[in-house]
Structure 1
Amino acid sequence: MLPSRSLSSYLPLSLACSATVLLAACGGSSPAPLLTLNGDKPIVVAHRGASGYLPEETYEAYVKAIELGADAIEPDLVSTKDGVLIARHDPNLAYSTDIDKHPEFAARKKTMSVDGEVQTGWFASDFTFAEIKTLGGISTDAERPQQYNGLYKIVSFQEIIDLVKAKSKDTGRTIAVYPETKNPSYHRALGLPLEDKLIDLINKAGWNDKTAPIYVQSFEPGSLKEMRKKGLNTKLIQLIDADDVDLKTGALTYAAPYDRPYDWALSGDKRLFSDMVTPAGLAEIKTYADGIGPWKRYIVSVKGTVGADGKIVDVNGDGKINDADTTTLAPSTLISDAHKAGLLLHPYTFRNEKRRLAANYNGDPKAEYMQFFRLGVDGMFSDFADTALAARADYLKETGR
């Protein structure tokens, strides 16, 4: 039996628009209902700021994301040595800053285990906030602009709160913040737990309620449960990961550290992230969170072409195997399942580069966004908020809005 979705969800992208317009027209001037949990228009979250254009999680990247019109901006939160929450995707500063250009910090290079993964570099927990302020952010994708590397500084979560409040006042529109407690078990083991500091900042911002312009997310259920227990009343989102896709079958694969939440690994819980997307898993999440943030492949996976040699065919002949050599599979029932459980659903991460787009999107990132909007997502994370917003405008127009 087909899940409860609109007719357009099952039509080719080229036909879905006309079908939806006809459905809307049948109702006269009434727009077609949206398939989101509450019937609201889906939100666009600027993933690490305008990270498609500027070095991620810098002040300038967040300003640009707001200027592009993003509904929310997303910082990943890690802790400095002196307990300041800063916006970085990784505790290892080697990945996204110019720290290797700072000889004064050369002696602090070390090897550590982060969520079971051995890494070498410089770690935020060994630096004060003042020291980290001397570093510049860099682009983490070689295909993206590199001329801004080192120019823009790392920001604290407090600076992001101040920015959002000022821009909301200036623009007259509410801009939300979507922080993630990054590697919470790792930070707790260092004696730098994230949760109390985050709750304190949210309380000081006056945002500790469900209607506040903030969503708090984490891959670790224990982090979300702890914050709820300690009185955090904001919207909480359980992130759901996987390692990769088996391009021969389209099935998701699971390998550490992307197989299960790290707090589950520490406690001996053998379940995988895939257990979270079952009806029982979703019901469990509903007991402590308001929504889920799954990798988008849980909703629409992709599959390559297997050649006579048993290997995936390099369809576009560029010498690489990636999403551009695949086509999409039929959508799963996760959106409707999540909504039945009363959960919001905000998949990640949508990007514009052609290597990240399945072949049947014909190199058009808007085609991917439109498919997910039509399926009923409540929002999505994008490195290119302007493209996502343009696609949403087209989607809302085709529903009669």
Structure 2
Amino acid sequence: MPRRRPLVIGHRGAPGYRPEHSRSSYDLALALGVDAVEPDIVVSRDGVLVVRHDTEIGSTTDVADHPEFADRRTTKTVDGAELSGWFVEDFTWDELATLRCRERLPRLRPGSASFDGEQQILRLRDVLDLVAQAGLEQGREIGVVLEIKHATFLTGLGFDYAALIAAELRAAGWDGGRWPLTIESFESGILRQLRDFGVRATYIYLLEAAGQPADLVAVHGASAPTYRSVMTPEGLDGLVGRVDGISLDKRSILAPDRLGRVGEPASVVADAHARGLRVFTWTCRPENTFLVAQFRRGRDKAAFGDYEAEWQFLVDAGVDGFFVDHADLGVAFFHGARD
């Protein structure tokens, strides 16, 4: 039986062309034909689920230009990393709504940066409604791949994170299987909690190339299992029945050597498939700076390298879903790809 067509997921919308998580980023990704879009969520001080990649928002909004928020700048340790800036959980939604989106990588993506300051940030409900409406208008199923960020950190601040998410999905009509919903996190505990709430979704465990899950570190400390250990056959055995699949940093599949050359793909994709688990990968980007050395062309970091060769390697490895920043390139390549 032939493998189904790979899923193309607009990573934070279409951030190759518009500031990530902005309304125009999602509108563009949907218009360009992605199968799903991926909003990341964190929580405001008053419990609103906000679409941002991180709790720290200094690099993706104009918060630094707001003198009324100057005293909110602080330093925190989030999932073991010390960060300085402004944090979503220190603002109410009404305050956050006064901010405007900015391009995270302005030197690399000046075209996207030209849209800085035009749009306010979004709530999860905004994206859910936007995708549902786009599906009706385009006459096709479009999914949401919801990434839950910093679950242990935010729960530790007193938020009932899983309950907030379940309630929002239910209120929007996205909890019962009406539309394609995937829920993913680098922490498996929050996935289990949402399953216990009865949210119908495909559950995907995100695995970093290195490090340890924050929820397990909170319980086991330095002896917590590593992400790498989960990618072994024994680790994957432990996921069966708990999640529906895994999502990997593409380097975990490409397995480049010290010179940035690829050979045979890592066995983790085949091992996961043998256990009935789906495999996604992130993030497929065409710029030289994001490609492994073998596929770079020239020295301009912003120039496109031989991204199609790198992406074909991932297709040949059997990956089921691809996160892309340039929705048009991703749809054209992966919807036409053959393995």
The answer to whether TM tops 0.5 is yes
Structure showing greater Rg: 1
Within 1, Cα distance between the matches of 2:242 and 2:199? Answer: 11
In the other structure, the counterpart of 1:185 is 152
Moved over 6 A (4+): none
Within 1, Cα distance between the matches of 2:88 and 2:205? Answer: 25
Alignment of 1:1-400 (within 5 A): 34=2, 39-141=3-105, 142-145=107-110, 146-209=113-176, 212-242=179-209, 254=210, 259-268=211-220, 269-305=223-259, 326-361=260-295, 363-396=305-338
Where 2:18 maps in the other structure, the secondary structure is: coil
| TM superposition shift of 1:163 | 0.3
| TM superposition shift of 1:173 | 1.2
Within 2, Cα distance between the matches of 1:83 and 1:241? Answer: 28
In the other structure, the counterpart of 1:14 is none
Deviations, residues 63-121 of structure 1 (Å, cap 9, x unaligned): 11111111110011000011110110100111311111111110111111111211111
| TM superposition shift of 1:353 | 0.7
| TM superposition shift of 1:210 | 5.6
Query: Would you say the 8 A contact 1:369–1:388 is kept in 2?
Result: no
Query: Would you say the 8 A contact 1:208–1:233 is kept in 2?
Result: yes
In the other structure, the counterpart of 1:3 is none
TM-score (norm 2): 0.92
Within 2, Cα distance between the matches of 1:378 and 1:210? Answer: 20
Query: Would you say the 8 A contact 1:179–1:216 is kept in 2?
Result: yes
More displaced 10-residue stretch of structure 1: 366-375 or 87-96: 366-375
Within 2, Cα distance between the matches of 1:264 and 1:115? Answer: 11
| TM superposition shift of 1:369 | 1.7
TM-score (norm 1): 0.78
Query: Would you say the 8 A contact 2:142–2:179 is kept in 1?
Result: no
Give unmatched runs, 5+ long, in structure 2.
298-304
Identity of matched residues, %: 35
Deviations, residues 342-386 of structure 1 (Å, cap 9, x unaligned): 111111111111122234335221222222122211111111121
Within 2, Cα distance between the matches of 1:298 and 1:210? Answer: 31
| TM superposition shift of 1:209 | 4.3
Query: Would you say the 8 A contact 2:254–2:313 is kept in 1?
Result: no
In the other structure, the counterpart of 2:301 is none
Deviations, residues 110-153 of structure 1 (Å, cap 9, x unaligned): 11111121111111111111111111111111201221122221
Within 2, Cα distance between the matches of 1:101 and 1:301? Answer: 42
State the aligned residue count: 326
Deviations, residues 246-301 of structure 1 (Å, cap 9, x unaligned): xxxxxxxx4xxxx1100111111421100111122112222221110111111112
Where 2:246 maps in the other structure, the secondary structure is: strand
Within 2, Cα distance between the matches of 1:329 and 1:338? Answer: 20
Query: Would you say the 8 A contact 2:74–2:86 is kept in 1?
Result: yes
Within 2, Cα distance between the matches of 1:163 and 1:206? Answer: 13
Query: Would you say the 8 A contact 1:366–1:388 is kept in 2?
Result: no
Where 2:206 maps in the other structure, the secondary structure is: strand
Within 1, Cα distance between the matches of 2:16 and 2:228? Answer: 29
Within 1, Cα distance between the matches of 2:263 and 2:217? Answer: 31
Give unmatched runs, 5+ long, in structure 1.
1-32, 243-253, 306-325
More displaced 10-residue stretch of structure 1: 72-81 or 221-230: 221-230
| TM superposition shift of 1:207 | 3.0
